[in-house]
Amino acid sequence: MTDYFECTPVGLEFLEQTSNVFVAEEIVRATPEQIFEVFEDAHAWTVWAMPIEKVEWTSPKPYGVGTTRSVHMMGGLIGYEEFIAWEPGKRMAFTFLGASKDATEKFLEDYRVEDLGDGTCKVQWHMAMETRGFSNRIMFLTLPVMRWFNRRMFRKFRQYTEDYAARSAKPA
C-alpha cells in the first residue's frame, strides 16, 4: 500500500454492530464453484460492480483468510482489503485495512452462497460501513440511494454470473 488512511478492520460481528447495513439477494443459475470463479476473477468485478475500475489481488492463489487485494474505484478511491472469511463455494468476506481517502472508518462485505440443489444458488451480499468526517454527517441522506443502487448492482452480478456459467458449461 502506498499512502493511505487507516481504517479500523472489523470482523463478521460488525454486521450486528452497525445500522449501516445493506443487503441484496439474488437467485443465480450457476454452481457454487462458478460463482466463486467469478468472485476470483479480477476483471469480472469491473463489469458488474459499477464503481470498481480495477482489482489487483496482492496475495497469491490459493486465496483464503488473510488474502489481500486493492480495489480501485471511481473518484480515485482505492480500498485495501483483507479477507476475513473464505469458504470456497459458500462464503467470503473482507474488511478494509485502509483507503486512499479519509472517509471510511469501518467497512465489511460478506458474500454468502447457498446451493439450492437445482442448478441454482441463493447469493446474499451484505455490506456494512461507517464513515468519518463530513461523510459521516450526511450518511443518513445517502442510505436510501445506496440500498437501491446496491440491489441494482447485484442484479448485474446475477446476470454476469449466469452468462459466465452458460459460457463455461459449453464444450470448447
pLDDT greater than 80 at residue 134: no
- Give me the phi and psi of 137, to 5 degrees please: -70, -25
- The verdict on pTM exceeding 0.75 is yes
Average pLDDT over residues 13-18: 96
CATH superfamily of 5-166: START domain (3.30.530.20)
pLDDT greater than 90 at residue 10: yes
Per-residue pLDDT tens over the stretch 47-97: 999 899 999 999 999 999 999 999 999 999 999 999 999 999 999 999 999
What is the pLDDT at residue 127? 93
The C-alpha atoms of residue 48 and residue 59 are separated, in whole angstroms, by: 23
pLDDT band at 102 (very low <50, low <70, confident <90, very high): confident
What is the pLDDT at residue 135? 54
